Structures are given as C-alpha cells and as structure tokens.
C-alpha cells in the first residue's frame, strides 16, 4: 500500500508540473497561432472578419504580371549582342529599335535581345518605348552580363516608358449610391450600371474633400519653411479596376477597395478610361547593373538602374544593381501589374539624406515585389504620395539600412509588407512636417510576420486602419507620440499561421506564385 500511495502521489505531482508548464508556456514557444482578422479553411479559402463598419483586411493576391494569373513568358531570341570596346549604348539601342520595328504577335510579344557575358559601358541611357521586348543577360554577377553607367551625369540607365495617361471616357461617369463602401469590398452599388459590362476597365474614383482633410488633421501640420497643408483637390484618388460581373446596379470588381468610400466625406464614382500609348509585355532579366562613381558620396553618376512608367504587365527578374544613387527599380505612377523578383540593390553611393537610396520604389498600382535584397539603402521597400493599391512587398531582406521601410508620405493606400526582414525600421505613421508636409504616410498598410529592429504603426484619425500582425521587434511611438495605435496583434510571437498572408491569399485564388 505504501508503494502504491507513493506512486500515486508522484503521478499527481508529475501531472501538476505538466499542467503548470502548459499553462505558463513561453509565448515564443513552437505553438502556432492565428490572427483574429481572418480564418483559413481546410479547403484553402479565407474568410475575413469585418469590423463594425464592415472593413476587412483586403485580398492582395491579384498583383504583379497579369495579376499572377499568367506565367512570365520566355520569348524567342531575335538579337544576340557581344561586348565591344568603348561605349555600347548605340549598339544596344539600335538592337532595341530594330526589334521594336518588327510586328508583335497576338500576345503583344516581339522577342528577346540577348546580351552575352561581359561588360557593356553606357555613357547615357537606354530607352525601350515599344511593346513586347525583353532585355536579357547571362547572369547578374561580375562574371555575367554587366551594364555600366559610365562617366558623369545623374540619370536612369534603362528607361522603359510608354506615353499617355489615364483619360476619362466622356459620359461614362456614374456615382456610387452606397452610403459606405468598406475596405476589402469587391462590389458596390451605382446609380445606373446599364452602360457598363463585364471586362470594362474602370477608374474607381474617390474625391478629396475639405472635411476629410480636416478630420485627419492634415490642415494642421506644424509648419516650418516649405510646409504645405493638404488640400482637397490634391487628394482625388483614382484606382484602376476591371469589372468582373454586373447584377442590376451592383458592380463587381477584380481588386478590392483599399480605402473606405464614405459619403460623409465625398461621393465615390466609377468611369471608363483609356490609356493610349501605354506599353505592354516588357521585361528585364539576368543582368548586373553598375554605376561608376568617384567616391562614396558622389552624386554625379547613375541614379536609377531600371525606370518604369506608362506600362502595364511587365517584369524584372534576377537583376542586381550596385552603386546607384536612388534605386535598382523605380515604378512610377503609370506602372501597373509589374512583377519585380529575385533581385538585389547593393551599396548605394550618395550622401545619406532625402531623395536618395529608395532601393525598390513603387508609385504604381497592383505591383508585386518579391524575393529581394538590399544593403546600404534608406527607404528600401517604399511607396510614394497617394500610391494606389493593392501593392505587395513579399519575402524581402534589408541590411545596413539608414532609414525606414514603409509608405513614405502623403497617404499611400493598400500595401502588404509580408515577411520583410530588416535590421532597421518599418513605420506607418504621421510624419508631420518632414519634407514639405509628409503627414499621414498611409492607410490599409498591413505588416504580416515581419522582423524589424523597431516599428511605429499608427491608425489615422479617420478613414481606416493599419496593421502589425506577428511583428517581431520593438514597438515605438514614432515621430509624433500620441497618435492612435494601429491594430497590433501577436507582437514577438513566433509561428503565426499562415506564415505568409500573400501566399495564403494566392492559394485561395488559385494563383501559383513562382
């Protein structure tokens, strides 16, 4: 009996210790956890949990080249170039112009210009201004294909640019009739949908208003020399969308609303548009871009390696840029559905201050940046003023950074920063009077499973939320303490599931990310 009693007591003690261990586990244990903002179901579909106004985290899956629904193509090689002594600009530009003169196929493709291994000095810039051209090298290292911006002159080494702009088609504008269209919505009601059909390209238009500016306090920026208060006419926001279905006066769109449209501030609208002259199907692959420079603070040399504007459905893959002032890849406002992947921006050469070292810069819409690396940058993965989402930065690293990642200024909307690993900061905040009045940098900015030295994630006074979910690093108050907290969840907890929101959303949409 004594032995049985002793064994029973020991068993009870062991159970108590085990229960104590379970109930007091380190939150950084290997136990997985899930966000309260969504559910991933067994079949891979996702349900999102709306707030009291119906707002949800948006679906970011339909970004990049052809929304990720079409693989990046391999085009036939039409020209093969070899290194020459001296300036290679004229040779390469002639090849570009000759391919541009050829007819495009039914997909808008012409062909590839292959630059064989070796060095190609370029005193000036190269320009691609026609559809369906791919500039391809044989490797993005010093032993591969190297394009070198030689001599002096701050410029873009490769410019890929169409022409034109969004132009409203007359007599197609109709107002949105809903009092409130929440963030994340893919449908809404209009006053009269009879002139629209499935497949129409439209602008989802959200006008600025004085009462909105006042409510987010951007008419009250503490002024210094050069500070500009925000004005309503400067904040008319235009989102490119495509109609996927119409039922009565309900319009369904391909990509979600990324900032709530609230009649309290202004009445939203849609209209058809054209963009004559916009390029299609241009790519850059497997090249090392370098700039000559005089010293570490030289600013009279190559500024941007690859500069995109007025283009839809293009790509950059497996390039490295070294020693430029500003960026490896910069996408301007007319760049849409561009994929930038498997690339690096290293060792910028410039003074370390504003307007420099924006390693991968995005001002366009529905663009995807994935599998990227940077060193010695400032704003490594960054958006500019009024950048219209959705846009995604996924699986990117940053080392020896000199400033913060994130929306830089003046109200970017709808960006996902997913699995970003930086030894610096990611901030979404009111930047106050920095610059000429940066103010609120963005809304519907989602940080998912990111690793940082520190982060400030704040909610604006109105019109939406920002999210820090599963962020590993310090939470800080940002430049202007006292601003509303963002939606923080699971800080410094590991094993967030899904580990990537973007990949989960792509799987739910049947998109295979490669």
Q: What is the pLDDT of residues 224-240, one digit of tens each?
A: 999 999 999 999 999 99
pLDDT tens track for 470-511: 999 999 999 998 899 999 999 999 999 999 999 999 999 999
Residues 77 and 157 in one domain: yes
- Average of per-residue pLDDT across 2-28: 37
Average pLDDT over residues 108-126: 98
Query: Please, what's the largest Cα pairwise distance for the chain?
Result: 99
pLDDT of residue 13: 36
Residue-range definition of the domain harbouring residue 201: 167-274
113 lies in some domain: yes
Residues 237 and 151 in one domain: no
| Whether residue 177 is found in the same domain as residue 248 | yes
Beta strands in 200-276 (DSSP E): 201-206, 237-247, 250-253, 261-262, 269-274
- Of the residues 343, 362, 378, which one is the last residue of a structural domain? 378
Q: What is the pLDDT of residue 19?
A: 33
CATH of the domain at 244: 2.40.30
Rounded Cα–Cα distance for residues 399 and 374 (Å): 6
pLDDT at 124 exceeding the cut of 80: yes
What is the pLDDT, as a whole number, of residue 30?
52
368 located within any domain: yes
Q: Could you tell me if 296 and 243 lie in one domain?
A: no
Alpha-carbon span 246 to 442, nearest angstrom: 31
In a domain? residue 200: yes
Whether residue 147 is found in the same domain as residue 77: yes
- Same domain? For 133 and 189 the reply is no
Same domain (yes/no): 269, 284: no
CA distances from 287 to 163, 172, 198, 336, 514 (A): 26, 44, 40, 22, 19
Find out whether 58 and 46 touch, Cβ atoms under 8 Å.
no
Angle, CA of 465, 470 and 473, to the nearest 5°: 100
List the one residue out of 481, 496, 489, 486 whose CA is nearest residue 458. Answer: 486
**310 and 230 belong to one structural domain:** no
Question: Which of 334, 359, 378 is the last residue in one of the domains?
Answer: 378
- With 0-12 / 13-18 / 19 or more C-beta atoms within 10 angstroms meaning exposed / middle / buried, residue 233 is exposed
- Domain membership flag for residue 504: no
Q: Give the pLDDT mean for 27-36.
A: 74
Q: Give, in order, the Cα–Cα distances in Å from 41 to each of 59, 186, 294, 491.
A: 15, 20, 56, 24
User: How many domains is the chain built from?
Assistant: 2
Measured CA to CA in angstroms, residue 183 lies from 52, 92, 369, 512 at distances of 12, 46, 22, 25
**pTM higher than 0.95 for the full model?**
no
510 vs 506: CA distance, rounded Å: 6
Length of the chain: 514
- Of 378, 407, 429, the last residue of a domain is 378
CB atoms within 10 A of CB 507: 18
**Domain check: are 219 and 143 in the same one?**
no
Whether residue 266 is found in the same domain as residue 285: no
CATH assignment of the domain containing 297: 2.160.20
State the DSSP code for 103: P
The CB density around residue 196, as the number of other CB atoms within 10 Å, is 19
Determine which helix (DSSP H) or strand (DSSP E) holds 120, and give its type and residue range.
Answer: strand 118-122
Any domain includes 124: yes
For residue 375, what are the β-bridge partners?
399
Give domain status of residue 475, yes or no: no
Q: Is residue 171 part of a domain?
A: yes
- Cα Rg of the chain (Å, integer): 25
Q: Is 135 found in the same domain as 119?
A: yes
Q: Which helix (H) or strand (E) holds 425?
A: strand 425-428
Structure tokens at 122: 């370029």
Extract the tokens encoding 451: 């690793």
- Token code pair at residue 173: 């504008």
Distance CA 50, CA 153 (A): 52
- Cβ 66 vs Cβ 313: under 8 Å: yes
Residue 192 and residue 174: Cα distance in Å, rounded? 7
Distance from C-alpha of 212 to C-alpha of 413, rounded to nearest angstrom: 15
- 22 — pLDDT class (breaks 50, 70, 90): very low
Do 152 and 129 lie in one domain? The reply is: yes
Question: Tens digit of pLDDT for each residue in 288-324?
Answer: 999 999 999 999 999 999 999 999 999 999 999 999 9
Write down the pLDDT at residue 494: 96
Decide if 75 is inside a domain.
yes
């Amino acid at each position: 009996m004594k032995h049985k009693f002793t064994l029973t007591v020991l068993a009870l003690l062991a159970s108590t210790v085990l229960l104590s261990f379970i109930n007091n586990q380190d939150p950084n244990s290997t136990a997985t956890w899930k966000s309260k903002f969504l559910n991933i179901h067994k079949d891979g579909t996702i349900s999102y949990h709306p707030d009291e106004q119906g707002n949800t985290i948006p679906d970011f899956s339909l970004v990049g080249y052809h929304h990720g629904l079409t693989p990046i193509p391999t085009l036939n090689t039409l020209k093969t170039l070899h290194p020459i002594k001296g300036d290679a600009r004229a040779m390469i530009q002639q090849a570009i112009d000759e391919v541009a003169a050829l007819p495009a196929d039914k997909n808008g493709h012409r062909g590839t210009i292959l630059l064989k291994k070796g060095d190609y000095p370029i005193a000036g810039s190269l320009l691609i201004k026609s559809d369906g051209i791919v500039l391809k090298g044989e490797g993005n290292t010093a032993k591969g294909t190297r394009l070198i911006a030689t001599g002096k002159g701050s410029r873009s080494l490769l410019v890929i640019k169409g022409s034109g702009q969004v132009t409203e088609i007359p007599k197609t504008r109709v107002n949105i009739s809903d009092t409130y269209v929440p963030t994340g919505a893919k449908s809404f009601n209009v006053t009269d949908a009879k002139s629209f059909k499935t497949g129409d390209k439209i602008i989802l238009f959200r006008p600025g208003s004085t009462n909105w500016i006042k409510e987010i306090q951007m008419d009250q920026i503490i002024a210094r020399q050069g500070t500009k208060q925000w004005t309503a006419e400067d904040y008319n926001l235009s989102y490119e969308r495509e109609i996927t279905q119409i039922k009565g006066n309900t319009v369904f769109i391909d990509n979600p609303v990324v900032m709530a449209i609230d009649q309290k501030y202004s009445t939203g609208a849609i209209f058809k548009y054209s963009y004559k002259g916009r390029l299609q199907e241009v790519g850059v692959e497997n090249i090392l871009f370098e700039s000559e420079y005089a010293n570490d603070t030289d600013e009279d040399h190559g500024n941007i390696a690859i500069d995109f504007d007025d283009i839809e459905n293009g790509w950059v893959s497996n390039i490295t840029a070294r020693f430029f002032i500003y960026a490896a890849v910069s996408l301007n406002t007319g760049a849409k559905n561009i994929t930038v992947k498997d690339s690096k921006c290293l060792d910028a050469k410039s003074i370390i201050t504003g307007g420099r070292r924006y390693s991968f810069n995005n001002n366009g819409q529905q663009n995807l940046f994935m599998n990227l690396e940077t060193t010695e940058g400032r704003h490594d993965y960054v958006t500019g003023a009024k950048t219209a989402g959705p846009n995604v930065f996924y699986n990117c690293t940053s080392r020896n950074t000199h400033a913060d990642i994130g929306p830089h200024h003046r109200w970017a909307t709808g960006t996902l920063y997913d699995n970003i690993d930086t030894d610096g900061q990611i901030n979404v905040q009111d930047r106050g009077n920095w610059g000429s009045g940066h103010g609120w940098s963005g809304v519907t900015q989602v940080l998912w499973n990111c690793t940082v030295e520190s982060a400030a994630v704040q909610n604006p006074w109105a019109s939406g939320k920002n999210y820090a979910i599963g962020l590993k690093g310090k939470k800080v108050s940002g430049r202007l303490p006292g601003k509303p907290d963002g939606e923080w969840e699971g800080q410094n907890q590991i094993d967030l599931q899904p580990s990537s929101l973007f990949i989960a959303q792509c799987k739910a949409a049947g998109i295979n990310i490669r």
